[in-house]
Structure 1
Amino acid sequence: MTMPPTPIRVVIVDDHAIFRSGLKADLAQDILVLAEAATVEDAIAAVNATLPDVVLLDVHLPGGRGQGGREVIAGCTAQLATTKFLALSVSDSAEDVVSVIRAGARGYVTKSISGAEISDAVRRVAGGDAVFSPRLAGFVLDAFGTAEVAVEDELDKLSARELEVMRLIARGYSYKEVAKALFISIKTVETHVSAVLRKLQLSSRHELTRWAADRRLL
């Protein structure tokens, strides 16, 4: 007997109830909606409580400090390793696209796409792909054309062991957990973390996590 595929678990974040209802109805049967949210605060709470595979995130939302979708992603930094954010907006401006991608979103599509197309986008993002509506991809390529080189230059400052420690610390591992995972002492972990922070000109673990998340290194 063939087992049904494991559903992709999502949270829908949009401040229009009618749009949320329509989107929920249009999603394919293999996509399970865990929760809905209409504000920045409610979205952060819903994502952190349900730990979905994908968040369908409107760019412009009420609440918080007025930063909309970017603020939601920032409030869920610890989840970026397992939860993917797919921006879904009426806006197709380069500024909106680039800002939310810099914040950590894995894709950006406009609300004019069909239910089948958004379902396919959810599947692709859940699988690790980056997904963009056709004309929006150019904005991302233009904005990040030199970004990869800059990231490589920054990472070149770190030794192989420092890079391993950096990734684990940025993902929220404790010093003890890092030591156990890499078979080194806690003191050695502390030494590596100090070196990483110094080389990257960061002052805390929190800044390191944001730095790694901004560069999609988690």
Structure 2
Amino acid sequence: MTESSVPPLRRVVIVDDHGIFRAGLKAEMQGRIDVVGEAYDVESAVAAVREHRPEVVLLDVHLPGGTGGGGAEVVKLCRDLLEQVRFLAISVSDQATDVVSVIRAGARGYVTKTISTQELAEAVEAVATGDAVFSPRLAGFVLDAFGTGGVAEDVRDEELDRLSAREVEVMRLIARGYTYREIASDLFISIKTVETHVSKVLRKLQLSSRHDITRWAEQRRIV
């Protein structure tokens, strides 16, 4: 292959609220993508996308800021750019609600952070050229949700749709028996923030206790 036939590196913005992950991803992907910008929350992500107009945005699903919608909110706020900017979600989460919410918003793919460097480079290229890309076990969620023209049972639930991605995450850990301290440590947030999220979940779902949250989550198979 001659030098002139080597495809140009795809222009990418990395969005993740953990600086160490952004730095690591940038180092791992050096020579495979052209990182033109970085962001750490909803507001900075939207600003970076609009400023740099990248070909692909590597987008974490759970982000602070905005109205609590995380990565899906970023995509929604950039919908007027979706013809030229493609969003590829990359997250530790492999939950159906997270996958479908960001795809609903307009993202072209969703991979987990266990993906290899080579696989991620291939996913970026595929998304940039208009293909959809999913980690193998996540594709089924999308097929279940959209394959027959319907929406998956656990996603169409109006009560669940009231919750932000972070609130669902906290609720799931509560249902698994985690203490507030353990949740705070696992999500890198304060105990006070956990308490705030739990209070919002209880209010939005009109529940009264941790036991009620656990039962609600189990009924919807999102524990």
Q: TM-score, normalised by structure 2?
A: 0.64
Which residue of structure 1 aligns with residue 145 of structure 2?
A: 143
Which residue of structure 2 aligns with residue 128 of structure 1?
A: 130
**Aligned partner of residue 98 in structure 1, secondary structure:** helix
User: How far 1:28 sits from its partner (Å)?
Assistant: 5.1
Q: Is the 8 A contact 1:28 1:119 kept in 2?
A: no
Match of 1:73 among 58, 72, 75: 75
Give the 5 Å matches for 1:1-218: 2-3=3-4, 4-27=6-29, 29-147=31-149
Q: 1 CA distance for matches of 2:127 and 2:48?
A: 19
Q: Is the 8 A contact 1:36 1:46 kept in 2?
A: yes
Q: Is the 8 A contact 1:15 1:62 kept in 2?
A: yes
Q: Which segments of 5 or more consecutive residues in structure 1 lack a partner in the other structure?
A: 149-218
User: How far 1:30 sits from its partner (Å)?
Assistant: 3.6
User: How far 1:147 sits from its partner (Å)?
Assistant: 2.2
**Aligned partner of residue 5 in structure 1, secondary structure:** coil
Q: 2 CA distance for matches of 1:53 and 1:111?
A: 20
Q: 1 CA distance for matches of 2:148 and 2:50?
A: 33
Q: 2 CA distance for matches of 1:85 and 1:147?
A: 22
Q: 1 CA distance for matches of 2:147 and 2:53?
A: 32
Q: 2 CA distance for matches of 1:31 and 1:118?
A: 10
User: How far 1:75 sits from its partner (Å)?
Assistant: 1.2
Q: 2 CA distance for matches of 1:78 and 1:132?
A: 23
Q: 2 CA distance for matches of 1:92 and 1:24?
A: 23
Q: 1 CA distance for matches of 2:30 and 2:140?
A: 28
Q: 1 CA distance for matches of 2:28 and 2:129?
A: 20
Q: Deviations over 1:167-203 (max 9, x none)?
A: xxxxxxxxxxxxxxxxxxxxxxxxxxxxxxxxxxxxx
Q: Is the 8 A contact 1:6 1:30 kept in 2?
A: no
One-letter code aligned to 2:93: S
Q: 1 CA distance for matches of 2:11 and 2:70?
A: 22
Q: 2 CA distance for matches of 1:114 and 1:8?
A: 18
**Aligned partner of residue 36 in structure 2, secondary structure:** strand
Q: 1 CA distance for matches of 2:9 and 2:81?
A: 19
User: How far 1:108 sits from its partner (Å)?
Assistant: 0.2
In the comparison of the two structures, how many residue pairs are matched? 148
User: Once superposed, what is the RMSD of the aligned Cα atoms?
Assistant: 1.3
User: How far 1:87 sits from its partner (Å)?
Assistant: 0.3
Q: Deviations over 1:139-168 (max 9, x none)?
A: 0000002228xxxxxxxxxxxxxxxxxxxx
User: How far 1:31 sits from its partner (Å)?
Assistant: 1.1
User: How far 1:88 sits from its partner (Å)?
Assistant: 0.3
4+ runs deviating over 4 angstroms: none
Q: 2 CA distance for matches of 1:42 and 1:145?
A: 33
